[in-house]
Amino acid sequence: MTTQPSAFAQHSALSTQHFLSHSSKIFIAGHRGMVGSAIVRLLQAKGYHNLLLKTREELDLTNQSEVHSFLAEEKPDYIFLAAAKVGGIHANNTFRADFIYENLVIETNIIHGAWKAGVNRLLFLGSSCIYPRDCPQPIREEYLLTGPLEQTNEPYAIAKIAGIKLCESYNRQYGTQYVSVMPTNLYGPNDNYDLLGSHVLPALIRKAHEAKLQGEKSLTVWGTGKPKREFLYVDDMAEACIFLMESGVTEGLFNVGTGYDVTIQELAETVMQVVGFQGTLTFDTSRPDGTPRKLLDVTSMKALGWQAKTTLQNGIAKAYADFLTNQP
């Protein structure tokens, strides 16, 4: 256990020991979500067969006694905490109370319940919006809590920071091995394509597709198109999560991204190209831009031996194929 004031990505925490076997009992909280479902797909493909999956109807993660009883009874060997209330800039900015409350309550229920049940290993999924709005780029893990947050998603970010601090605190006080990962903007199968609730990439896929079908001349992009964002295909994220689980990393905070970003305008142009919509772009500047840039420094994951594989163009093509198959 570290004696440092904070447990950022520390390579000294890497053990060569593999704690888990294919029969280990693994609980994936949030297995119907975009990240949780990608983790399940990859765990199954890798031969992990003892997966604990509970729908919202079977287990209400916001109910403390239900969660604590479930964990005490099942005693999983490992937990992926991928359950969260998530959304794009409009949803975060509008449903501020829901975003802070639901995320805090899910995290505290699962992390405290895990400790009480003697579950020693857990991976907590956060978000790159935890970092200060105007911090240097690319963003290193140690910039956490060094400045004010972006206002449009501050309640969500505060809840995710609390999750990191829960993991760190239980590790320090009780010797658990809870690790945090901070993904950049994710996209892929099982994404949310609701135009008001979603993030930018699924929104643009849907807008470009509908504009193509309806023979429109223009596609509306929120904001100025100038902010920069980094996008990671969700299967790469799942791979990073399972890589960390298998590596025997016991603590710390790890950024997960591709290491490069694009402007929202460049993103919109790439989406239009993949979808085959040949119109123009209109910028609705009555909508907020949000944070100007949030490119993650991915040196820590690279040093451990992990790197993203999917290019933006290929990832968008796969996401669009999934949209065509699965979206009504």
CB distance 159 to 107 below 8 Å: yes
Q: Which is nearer to ligand GDP, 153 or 255 (CB)?
A: 153
CB distance 106 to 84 below 8 Å: yes
Checking DSSP bridges between strand 280-284 and strand 218-222, what pairing results, if any?
A: parallel
Site for ligand GDP in 98-117 (CB under 6 A): none
Residues 126-139 as b/e (b if ≥16 CB within 10 A, e otherwise) read bbbbbbbbebebbb
Segment near ligand GDP (CB under 6 A); pick from 29-37, 46-54, 163-171, 286-294: 286-294
Amino acid (1-letter code) at residue 30: G
Q: Which is nearer to ligand GDP, 177 or 185 (CB)?
A: 185
Count of residues engaged in binding ligand GDP, rule: CB under 6 A: 21
88 near ligand GDP (CB under 6 A) = yes
The β-bridge partners of 14 are 249
Q: Which phi and psi angles does 248 have, rounded to 5°? A: 80, 25
Segment near ligand GDP (CB under 6 A); pick from 26-34, 94-102, 270-278, 284-292: 284-292
CA angle 231, 14, 31 (to 5 degrees): 45
Instruction: Give yes or no: 170 in active site.
Output: no
CB of 111 to ligand GDP, least distance (A): 24
CA angle 67, 69, 72 (to 5 degrees): 105
Q: Which is nearer to ligand GDP, 28 or 312 (CB)?
A: 312
Check residue 319 and give left, alpha or beta (phi > 0: left; psi -120 to 50: alpha): alpha
Site for ligand GDP in 199-258 (CB under 6 A): 199-200, 203-204, 221-223, 227, 229
Site for ligand GDP in 114-133 (CB under 6 A): 129
77 near ligand GDP (CB under 6 A) = no
Say which of 48, 78, 131, 156 is annotated catalytic: 156
Distance CA 108, CA 244 (A): 22
Distance CA 307, CA 179 (A): 18
260, with CB counted inside 10 A (0-12, 13-18, 19+), is middle
CB of 221 to ligand GDP, least distance (A): 4
Segment near ligand GDP (CB under 6 A); pick from 72-80, 172-180, 193-201, 242-250: 193-201
Question: What are 42's two structure tokens?
Answer: 């990859």
| Contact residue for ligand GDP among 103, 198, 247, 258 (CB under 6 A) | 198
66 near ligand GDP (CB under 6 A) = no
CB of 227 to ligand GDP, least distance (A): 4
Known catalytic residues are 156
Interacting residue ranges for ligand GDP, rule: CB under 6 A = 88-90, 129, 153, 185, 198-200, 203-204, 221-223, 227, 229, 264, 287-290
